[in-house]
């Protein structure tokens, strides 16, 4: 995948196979625009297809992870960096334009993050509101700095959580607490987000990046085939019947049981050593 500075974010590839995404417009509280979202969709797609990438981490510079859409800069932002894709009209100029913009760009970003079979981590360094919240919730794991604050808050402007946030909140909080969260326009601190189940762990701000790297390294060194199959099966199970979930995991097990990583895992167990998985990936570098 391409690394460097793009529209509103930068990407680096860290060992062992960690794609590190960092939003880099702190003066705008890392607000999103059409250009940023389209470049993110392209970059995440590249990460999905690149065998060198095993884990994706998203974080932000400054005091925000992402404070939502940057409405002032949505059409003509000077973001710097090298665009990954050509510019297109931002839409939202009429009812059909809003529908198309949401489905094609804003919702597509969260969909591509949610659908990638590699592990994703949101390292929430500060404010995560609306677009920032839904992006974080689309990731598999969420680490939050003690200074982080999370909320939907769209009703404060008479708007809806239109990027999939309502679905993700119901999945994580249940219907009753999701209603309370969005209807009361709540913005919660990191500890309350932890108690609600919105984040997995809260750490001091100074430890956020190192903790995210430790988690990412652990996942990157795990058996990638089995982990990716299991991730998809878990997401499927959340929306499947018992019979469909059993069939789904059986089909995936038929793949994983015969993979070289299993032979390595069994050998390491008998030899009382730490397994070294992913030889198949190392051979492709």
Lowest mean pLDDT among 17-21, 80-84, 136-140, 147-151: 80-84
Domain range for 248 is: 224-282
Measured from the Cβ of residue 16, the count of other Cβ atoms closer than 10 Å reads: 15
> What would the pLDDT profile of 230-261 be if each residue is shown by its tens digit?
999 999 999 999 999 999 999 999 999 999 99
CA distance linking residue 193 with residue 198, whole number of Å: 5
In this structure, are 258 and 125 located in the same domain? no
Is pLDDT of 157 > 90?
no
In this structure, are 236 and 206 located in the same domain? no
Domain boundary, last residue among 192, 221, 250:
221
> What would the pLDDT profile of 201-236 be if each residue is shown by its tens digit?
999 999 999 999 999 999 999 999 999 999 999 999
Q: Are 199 and 124 in contact (CB under 8 A)?
A: yes
pTM of the model: 0.95
What's the domain count of the chain?
2
Domain boundary, last residue among 172, 192, 221:
221
Query: Can you list the positions of beta strands (E) in the chain?
Result: 4-5, 9-14, 18-23, 55-60, 64-66, 119-124, 127-129, 141-145, 149-151, 187-189, 201-203
CB neighbour list of residue 138: distance below 8 Å, 6 or more residues apart: 110, 111, 113, 114, 120, 164, 168
User: According to the model, what pLDDT value does residue 93 have?
Assistant: 87
Measured from the Cβ of residue 1, the count of other Cβ atoms closer than 10 Å reads: 17
> What would the pLDDT profile of 23-70 be if each residue is shown by its tens digit?
999 999 999 999 999 999 999 999 999 999 999 999 999 999 999 998
Q: Which two tokens stand for residue 154?
A: 């769209």
Domain boundary, last residue among 221, 242, 273:
221
CATH assignment at residue 234: 1.10.12.10
In this structure, are 47 and 176 located in the same domain? yes
In this structure, are 249 and 178 located in the same domain? no
| Percent of the chain predicted with pLDDT > 90 | 88
CATH assignment at residue 182: 3.90.226.10
In this structure, are 53 and 88 located in the same domain? yes
User: According to the model, what pLDDT value does residue 133 have?
Assistant: 97
């Amino acid at each position: 995948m391409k690394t460097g500075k793009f529209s509103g974010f930068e990407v680096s590839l860290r060992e062992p196979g960690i794609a590190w995404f960092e939003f880099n417009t702190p003066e705008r509280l890392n607000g999103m625009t059409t250009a940023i979202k389209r470049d993110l969709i392209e970059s995440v797609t590249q990460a999905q297809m690149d065998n060198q990438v095993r884990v994706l981490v998203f974080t932000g510079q400054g005091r925000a992870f992402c404070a939502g859409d940057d409405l002032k800069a949505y059409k003509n932002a000077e973001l710097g960096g090298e665009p990954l894709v050509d510019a297109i009209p931002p839409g939202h100029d009429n009812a059909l334009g809003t529908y198309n913009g949401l489905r094609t760009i804003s919702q597509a970003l969260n969909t591509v993050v949610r659908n990638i079979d590699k592990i994703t981590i949101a390292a929430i360094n500060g404010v995560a509101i609306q677009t920032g919240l839904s992006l974080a919730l689309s990731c598999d794991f969420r680490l939050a700095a003690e200074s982080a604050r999370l909320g939907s808050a769209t009703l404060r402007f008479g708007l809806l959580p239109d990027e999939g946030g309502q679905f993700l909140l119901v999945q994580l909080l249940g219907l009753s607490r999701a209603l309370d969260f969005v209807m009361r326009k709540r913005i919660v601190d990191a500890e309350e987000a932890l108690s609600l189940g919105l984040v997995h762990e809260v750490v001091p701000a100074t430890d956020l990046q190192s903790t995210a790297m430790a988690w990412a390294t652990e996942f990157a060194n795990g058996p990638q085939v089995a982990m990716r199959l299991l991730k998809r099966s878990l997401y499927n199970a959340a929306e499947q019947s018992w019979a469909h979930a059993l069939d789904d995991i059986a089909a995936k097990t038929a793949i994983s049981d015969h993979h070289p990583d299993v032979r390595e895992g069994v050998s390491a167990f008998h030899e009382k050593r730490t397994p070294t998985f992913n030889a198949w990936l190392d051979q492709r570098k």
